Structure 1
Amino acid sequence: MKLIGSLTSPYVRKVRIVMAEKKLDFQLVLEDVWGSDAILKMNPLGKVPCLVMEGQDSITGAVFDSRVIVEYVDTLSPVGKLIPERGRERCEVRTWEALADGIMDAGILARMERTWAQRSDEQRSPAWINRQMTKVTAALAAMSQGLGDKPWCSGSHFSLADISVGCALGWLEFRFPEITWREDYPNLARHMDKLSQRQSFIDSVPA
């Protein structure tokens, strides 16, 4: 399998970590979606990550959107089941993923408004940026409350919930170092430190 993505995308990182935890072989193909339209051949939405099945070279052989990809990848190997099959436990893990993805979604929108070269300073909207960052702040508080003093986000073992939270927090450290979530939420800092010791996280640090 080929995973089309970038080294800075938190969504790509989530897929890379899942595939590493599942001990699946794949080739990472780097793609700059801002500098090239090549991704459109595999994903008409022009986004990464995009997982391409072996021997395929068109949209019909591709799986895109990180949530869809990790759902599929978790079925490919019995090693380290990351998403419960059914019931309340499954819903809880996917809700954690949605919360983490929401932080990244809002953060990316705020960052693009701040930095997109095709906007002048006069065209940028501080109100829009503040609205998105309010979502980030609220989601961090919800994460901290949900984690409490538990060893893992959901249930009694490592899951997609922890991977998603780790990717969101790692991306905030990378793109928004001014956000003081480590000081504000020590339990999230401890959890991130624990996750950062896993080889899958070490091998996928954004750069």
Structure 2
Amino acid sequence: MKLIGSTTSPYVRKVRIVLAEKKLDYQFVQDNVWGDDTTVTASNPLGKVPCLVMEGGEAVFDSRVIVEYLDTLSPVGKLIPTSGRERAEVKTWEALADGAMDAGILARMEATWVHRSDEQRCQAWIDRQMGKVNAALKAMSQGLGDKPYCSGIHLSLSDIAVGCALGWLEFRYPELAWRTEYPNLGKLMDKLMQRASFADTKPGA
């Protein structure tokens, strides 16, 4: 398998962590989707990463679809329950974490995209998106409570998705004091960073 992605993308990191936790072999091909020389569109017409290319050339995207598929490839470290409320809970955690990243990226693009002038940038839009980020952080903290992991006592996709969101926010928005406001999230992140799958995929590394 070949994974096309970027080391700064939190969605790509989510897939890389799942691949590591599932002990699956793959080739990592870096691609800058904003560069003129991007090649991901040959596999994903949406021009987005991550994109998983199979041995036969078939492509799988986006990150939620990829991790769902990867979890079926090996019995090692089952990350997504097969059915029922437990499965819905894990997928909801993933949706919450991905939504926080979606909003954070939209705010960042509005503030930094080089093809938009300062006069064209909308602070109200940025504030709206960051409001979603802050609401998601509060919901994550409340949902985690004093549990060792987001969905019980074992690592699951819930924790991987949340860890990727927190790691990206720490990377792109260091001014956000979420560790101070939500110490249980900081404790979870510190625990996750002790795993090789997280330590080896720090944003930009």
Shared fold (TM-score, shorter chain, > 0.5): yes
Indicate conservation of the 8 Å contact 1:7/1:30, yes or no: yes
How many pairs align? 203
Report the equivalent of 2:43: 42
Instruction: State the one-letter code of the partner of 1:170.
Output: G
Contact 1:40 1:46 survives alignment (8 Å): yes
Q: How far, CA to CA, are the matches of 1:178 and 1:54 in structure 2?
A: 42
Q: What secondary structure sits across from 1:54 in the alignment?
A: coil
Give the distance between the partners of 2:142 and 2:13, measured in 1 at CA. Answer: 25
Q: TM-score, normalised by structure 2?
A: 0.98
Distance in 1 (CA, whole Å) between partners of 2:123 and 2:154 is 41
Per the alignment, residue 119 of structure 1 pairs with 116
Residues 105-135 of structure 1 deviation map (CA, whole Å, 9 limit, x = unaligned): 0000000000000010000000000000000
What percent of counterpart residues are identical? 75
| Matched AA of 1:10 | P
The 4+ residue runs of structure 1 with deviation greater than 6 A are: none
Following superposition, the deviation at residue 37 of structure 1 comes to 4.0
Q: Is the 8 A contact 2:44 2:51 kept in 1?
A: yes
| 8 Å CA contact 1:15, 1:69 repeated in 2 | yes
Question: Deviation of residue 88 (structure 1)?
Answer: 0.3
3-state secondary structure, aligned to 2:72: coil
Which residue number in structure 2 is paired with residue 14 of structure 1? Answer: 14
Q: Which runs of 5+ in 2 are unaligned?
A: none
Q: How does 1:70-109 map to 2 (within 5 A)?
A: 70-109=67-106
Note the C-alpha offset of 1:168.
0.2
**SS of 1:122 mapped into structure 2:** helix
